[in-house]
Chain A
Amino acid sequence: MSTSDDSAPASRPAPTLVAEGVSFGYGPLRIVDGASLQVGQGEIVALLGPNGAGKSTLVKGIIGQLPLIEGKLTLNGIDFSKTASQNRCRQGIGYVPQLRDVFPTLSVWENLEMGGYMLSNEAVKGRIQEVLEIFPVLTDMHHRKAGSLSGGERKMLGIARALMAKPSVLILDEPTSNLAPNVAMRVLNEVVSGLASTGQAVLMIEQRVEMALNVATWGYVLIQGQVRLAGPASTLREASELGNLFFTGGTSIPAAGN
């Protein structure tokens, strides 16, 4: 099942997405406080942590739904800290939200077209064909309303939609949260791993820690808005501190660097 090699070296590919000491929050409240992480080509980076640790807030900040309070965000070396939300897609950020991941009143085909909104009209059709080759199951249902799909199909459409724009990094917010365990396993082991094997950089939030660490190459554990633990997924799987971090809020454990 595991796609990550237990003896994998801790050296990582050159980073695609880098967050350096970023803080995000609502008003004066800092939910994420000076967090740093990076994602490189072909990596699946799992962002873990207990409820309320700030995982979703961090992702919302990266995609531009929340303004950056401090720190720096770069993609392929280009600073996008101040780029407006709707322009981050053009720069290479692909995002699949946890729940509202498709346009339910639009057809499967139209959802893909919206995913390729930044592409030229001529390019869209070709790109849809390419994406449908990755998700053949969607081909037969391209007339159907996205709102009528099953959980697994819908998640695949959400990911396919995000892939339309050929993102440098694909960000998945709890891709398995609404899925039955066997479907969740397929999405992670087949879809997400498959994408990474083609060189796609993936950052994903996951509640299913074990399942996530089985497919991830690297993991960050976020506690109270700060990265308290980071390392190769294989190391994190073994780490006895992981459970403590989740249950105690991690107050007694010093932050680990990458």
Chain B
Amino acid sequence: MDLYIEGVGFGIIAAASILLGAMGFTLQFGLTNVLNIGYGAIMTAGAFVCYILHVWGLNIWAAVFFAGVATSLLTLLIAKTILTVYVRKGAALFEMAMITFGVALILENGLAALTRSNTYILSMGLEKAHSIGPIRFTTTQLVLVLLALTVFILLDLFLHATKVGKALRATAVDPDLARACGIATSRIISVAWLMSGFLCGLAGGVFTIDIFTVNAFTGDTLMPLVIVAALMGKAGSVRGAVLASLVLGIVTQVVSIAGGSSYDSVVAYGALAIALLARPKLLQGGLVAERVQITV
């Protein structure tokens, strides 16, 4: 039984990377309607940047930050080049998802070639564990959770208390009306790509710190959970992503203890299937919308 309670602790820690990823994913999906399958590969890129910077001697938290900066620029670059070209050619939702899948394959296999498919170990040194009741955690793990929470609070404040944040929400719900209000929606969408890319890199970095390893497909482990958390939390809603991430983190960790980590994806997609059955309108305004907009 204690093992399962400890699983809850691991779940909360796992939820940190899921939440960071889900916030970025939902922000970008809510604004552009591009189901960005390449998001997982960009998380991997973020994980590598974080790893390399740490190996070069940078403080791990600074490395996470710069991983975010790097993937932010990478994301905007991909959006402004490859994705824009296809949107101008008239690609719809499904085609765009396939194109981002292509981007993911290029990125991941490129990384696999560069790293000769090695798995690298992030050594952070031994840490003393603290404990609250039966749950044990290290300082690093505590910081991971606090980092995700802080980013969530800052993002939520940005979206609800600043002019640009409100314009971002307005553009997500009705871009035509936003333009009629004088909002330069193309600039707002660029902001969303940048922020989404930043969160994606943070998620990758944090995930690597959590699991100690990185390889060319690291992001793929996290990606289904991120998509499910974003969709379960209602596409486009950052607040909804919090609870969904927590639930998914805990459920996957507890299931891992019961049956092994290979069930992670089963749990993630199972949760998505159940959520869609219970609330079929979940995808409304997200996947069912016909227009892709990434006027970057």
Q: Do A and B come from one complex?
A: yes
Which residues of A does B touch, CB under 8 Å? Answer: 63-65, 85-90, 95, 97, 100-106, 110, 113-115, 117-118, 121, 161-162, 165
Query: 18 A-B pairs, CB-CB below 8 angstroms?
Result: A63-B180, A86-B182, A86-B185, A87-B182, A89-B181, A89-B182, A97-B177, A100-B177, A103-B170, A105-B173, A106-B170, A113-B166, A114-B166, A114-B167, A114-B170, A114-B181, A117-B181, A117-B183
Please give the distance in Å from B103's CB to the nearest CB on chain A: 29
Are A65 and B170 within 8 A (Cβ)? no
User: Is A103 a contact of B184 with CB atoms below 8 Å?
Assistant: no
Which residues 175-202 of B sit at the A interface, judged by CB distance below 8 A? 176-185
Known contacts A113-B163, A113-B166; A106 and B182 CB within 8 A of each other: no
Taking residues whose C-beta sits less than 8 angstroms from the other chain, chain B's interface range is 10 to 19
Q: Considering the complex of A and B, which 6 residue pairs feature the smallest CB-CB distances, nearest first? A: A89-B182, A86-B179, A118-B182, A95-B180, A85-B179, A103-B170
Q: Which residues of chain A come closer than 8 Å to B181, judged between CB atoms?
A: 89, 114-115, 117-118, 161, 165
Residue of chain A at shortest CB distance from B182: A89
A121, B163: Cβ atoms closer than 8 Å: yes
Of residues B169, B174, B178, which shows the largest number of chain A Cβ atoms within 10 Å of its Cβ?
Answer: B174
- Across-interface contacts of A100 in B (CB, < 8 A): 174, 176-177
Known contacts A114-B183, A161-B181, A165-B182, A97 near B166 by CB under 8 Å: no
**Contacts known (A86-B184, A113-B166, A121-B163); A103 close to B179, Cβ less than 8 A:** no
Q: Which residue of B lies closest to A91 (CB)?
A: B182
Chain B interface residues toward A at CB < 8 A: 163, 166-167, 169-170, 173-174, 176-185
Looking at the assembled complex, report how far the CB atom of A158 sits from the nearest CB atom of chain B, in whole angstroms: 9
| Chain B residue at minimum C-beta to C-beta distance from A162 | B180
Given contacts A89-B180, A161-B181, 20 further A-B contacts (CB under 8 A): A63-B180, A85-B179, A86-B180, A86-B185, A90-B182, A97-B180, A100-B176, A100-B177, A101-B177, A103-B173, A103-B178, A105-B169, A114-B167, A114-B170, A114-B181, A114-B183, A117-B182, A118-B182, A165-B181, A165-B182
Residues of A within 8 A of B178 (CB): 86, 103, 114
Find the A residue at minimum CB distance from B187: A86
| Bound Cα distance from A152 to B166, whole angstroms | 24
Chain A residues in 8 Å Cβ range of B163: 113, 117, 121
The answer to whether B169 and A86 have CB atoms under 8 Å apart is: no
Chain B's nearest CB lies how many Å from the CB of A106? 6
Which residues of B lie under 8 Å from residue A103 when comparing CB positions?
169-170, 173-174, 177-178
Name the residue on A nearest B185 (C-beta): A86
- B residues within 8 A CB of A101? 177
Closest residue on chain A to residue B178 by CB atoms: A114
Query: Given the complex of chains A and B, what is the CA–CA distance between A113 and B167 in angstroms?
Result: 9
